[in-house]
Structure formats: C-alpha cells, structure tokens
C-alpha cells in the first residue's frame, strides 16, 4: 500500500498578499478550486486514499477545509510548529508510516500520470524515484542565421531535465533519512545520499507541468484552467472550435461525435487506434488509453 504525502507548510512569500491569510496550497487556480484540491484528487484517481499533509503556516485553514476525510480520502496532519525544513518533515512522517510514500511538493500542478509512476517505481530496483520534466525556458529564445535574426521563440521547452517535485520513496530507505546531515532540504541531504549510493532513479513523462512560485506562474496556470475541467482520467479543455480531451495511460474516457487522436494510442470497441485516427462516433463509446493520449472533438458535432 502506498501513502500520499504533500509538503503543505510553506509561507508562499512571493504570493503575498494572497498568502497573508491562507497557506500557499489553498491559493485558487480557478474559482473554488485550490492547488491542494488538485493534488489530493490526483492521489484519489491513482488509488491512494491515505494522505499525510505536512503542514505548518496557517495549518488550521487547511484543517478547516479538508477535515479528517475529504472526498473519500483519509487526511492526516503532521504539524511543524516552526520551520524545520523538508528533511525534518519527511523524517517525521516516516515515523508514522510503514509503507512506501508518494511525495508531492505543495506548489506544483502537473498532469503526470501518478498511477503509472507508482507502477514503474515499484518495478525498479531503486529506493528513490524522482519524476522529471523538461525545462521550459523563462525567456524567449532568439534564433539567428549568420548576421540576421531569424526568429523569436516564446519560452520554448528545452531539452533539459528538471525535478518535477514528485517523489516515490520506498520504505526500505527510511533509515537514511536519519543520518546526520548539515542541510535542511531533502534534495541536498537524503536525495544526495541516495544518488551517492546509486539507489536513485527517475520517472520521465512528456506532459504539462506548472510550478506556482510567483504571480507570473499563477497567472499562467489560471490561464490554462480557463475552460478546463479536471477528470478522473485526465482533463477536458473547452477551446475555441473544439474540445481537447486528455486521457492518461490505463484510464478510460467516454467519447462521441467527430473525434481525432492527435497524440497517443488506445482501444475503441476492441480495436486499437493511434495518432491520426479520425471517426464520427454516434453513440458514446469508451476509449481506453494504452499511452497518454490527446483527443480533439469538433464542436460542430454537438
């Protein structure tokens, strides 16, 4: 059994004044829908129903919103009375659980397939598996051709891998949390130790990833959520002329109308279909994704 863990004790100083009265995890990404709502639902949809929130700043606000049970999830609170660092928070959590843990940073939103990451992590002969994502440039890139500027590319995705803030930690490695380290951050202590011992690996997925570190990040995330609704299988996004339907690997979605697969592959009516498949589906039909898939549905078919 895997337990879910969220770092939810941060001050969110770069999001003041929004975080003057609430912790960062309770910042809304759309009306009535918080960062922590989304993260908890990720756990629920992946089959994790026992959650540990590592809280501190304004923790009563979190407790008032979620209580001990939220949408079928058991919520446990481990309270940090003063800032102790992420290593202390995970070390403290390890004293309460005797299972592998799936840990989330409390300030990222991602469409990474948690269920698939758990499956892959369990199959690996490593004690720490870190989710990676490609880095998005914070700046526009200038392409040149000789003496001429060829083009500007606005904030492209770079071929560089960064930490996505999701970690699978196997219980066999908990003993290494208790070493005497000189730093407080888990990345600079326990993670470094696992790397040195060749016990660390990664899970890589090419999908959406949004940090929420400042107001610019939050604005980009809220723009993403205009017309978007998260679902147990992924999301539905209401765009100008069509709906974008994202279905994670090993999940099912019901589709109908004029549809086209623009990424991935899956099964419809016992027939395997893949990128480029188009059809006019009269009756609502199940699409089972064999890999993360994107389907577009023409609005004229409604």
Q: Domains in the chain: how many in total? A: 2
Q: Which domain holds residue 272?
A: 231-301
CATH number at residue 139: 3.90.550.10
Q: What angle do CA 260, 262, 264 make, to 5 degrees?
A: 110
Same domain, 191 and 279: no
Reading the block at residue 255, the tokens are: 């589709």
**Residue 36 to residue 250: CA distance in whole angstroms:** 24
Looking at 205, 226, 247, the residue that finishes a domain is 226
**Crossing angle for the helix pair 114-123 and 35-45, to the nearest 10 degrees:** 50
Same structural domain, 110 and 255: no
Residue-level length of the chain:
302
- Contact status, residue 109 vs residue 12, Cβ threshold 8 Å: no
292 shares its domain with 194 = no
Q: Are residues 235 and 94 in the same domain?
A: no
11 dihedral zone (left: phi>0; alpha: psi -120 to 50; beta): alpha
User: How does pLDDT run across 21-38, given as a tens digit for each residue?
Assistant: 999 999 999 999 999 999
Domain boundary among 226, 253, 283: 226
| Domain match, 6 and 152 both | yes
Tokens of 229: 């609704």
Strand order in the sheet with 265-268: 228-231, 234-238, 242-247, 293-298, 252-263, 278-289, 265-268, 271-274
Let me know how many helices (H) and strands (E) the chain has, helices first: 6, 22
Whether residues 268 and 193 share a domain: the answer is no
CATH classification of the domain holding 282: 2.60.120.1030
Both tokens of residue 176? 């290494």
Q: Clarify whether residues 98 and 209 are in a common domain.
A: yes
Encoding tokens for residue 165? 């803030």
Note whether 154 and 55 are same-domain residues: yes
DSSP H or E stretch at residue 158: strand 157-169
CB 53 within 8 A of CB 62: yes
Whether 93 and 186 share a structural domain = yes
Q: Taking Cα atoms as reference points, which of 5, 167, 168, 1 lies closest to residue 76?
A: 5
Do 46 and 191 belong to one domain? yes
CA distance 277 to 283: 17
In angstroms, the CA 104 to CA 86 distance is 11
Closest C-alpha among 53, 60, 57 to residue 105: 53
**What whole-number distance in Å separates Cα of residue 96 and Cα of residue 7?**
15
CA neighbor of 103 nearest in space, from 36, 27, 6, 234 = 6
Same domain for 87 and 58: yes
Q: pLDDT 10s per residue in the chain (302 long)?
A: 899 999 998 888 899 999 999 999 999 999 999 999 999 999 999 999 999 999 999 999 999 999 999 999 999 999 998 889 999 999 999 999 999 999 999 999 999 999 999 999 999 999 999 999 887 777 778 888 888 888 888 776 767 788 899 999 999 999 999 999 999 999 999 999 999 999 999 999 988 999 999 999 999 999 999 999 999 999 999 998 899 999 999 999 999 999 999 999 999 989 999 999 999 988 889 999 999 999 999 876 44
**Is 181 found in the same domain as 97?**
yes
pLDDT at residue 155 in the model: 75
């Amino acid at each position: 059994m895997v337990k879910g863990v969220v770092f939810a004790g941060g001050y969110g100083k770069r999001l003041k004044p929004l975080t003057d009265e609430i912790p960062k995890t309770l910042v809304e990404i759309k009306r009535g829908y918080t960062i922590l709502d989304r993260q908890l639902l990720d756990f629920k949809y992946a089959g994790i129903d026992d959650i540990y929130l590592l809280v501190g700043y304004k923790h009563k606000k979190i407790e008032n919103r979620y209580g001990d049970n939220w949408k079928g999830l058991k919520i446990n609170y481990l309270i940090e009375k003063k800032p102790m660092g992420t290593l202390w928070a995970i070390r403290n959590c390890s004293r309460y659980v005797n299972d592998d843990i799936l840990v989330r940073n409390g300030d990222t939103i991602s469409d990474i397939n948690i269920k698939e990451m758990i499956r892959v992590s369990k199959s690996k002969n490593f004690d720490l598996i870190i989710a990676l994502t490609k880095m998005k440039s914070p700046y526009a890139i200038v392409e040149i051709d000789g003496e001429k500027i060829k083009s500007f590319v606005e904030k492209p995705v770079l071929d560089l891998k960064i930490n996505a803030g999701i970690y699978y930690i196997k219980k066999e490695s908990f003993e290494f949390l208790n070493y005497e380290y000189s730093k407080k951050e888990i990345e600079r202590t326990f993670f470094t130790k696992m790397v040195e011992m060749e016990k660390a690996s990664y899970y890589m997925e090419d999908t959406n990833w949004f940090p929420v570190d400042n107001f610019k990040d939050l604005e980009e995330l809220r723009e993403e959520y205009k017309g978007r609704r998260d679902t147990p299988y992924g999301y539905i996004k209401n765009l100008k002329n069509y709906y974008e339907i994202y279905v994670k690997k090993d999940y099912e979605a019901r589709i109908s109308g004029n549809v086209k697969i623009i990424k991935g592959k899956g099964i419809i009516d016992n027939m395997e279909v893949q990128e480029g498949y188009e059809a006019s589906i009269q009756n609502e039909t199940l699409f089972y994704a064999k890999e993360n898939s994107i389907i577009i549905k023409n609005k004229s078919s409604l």
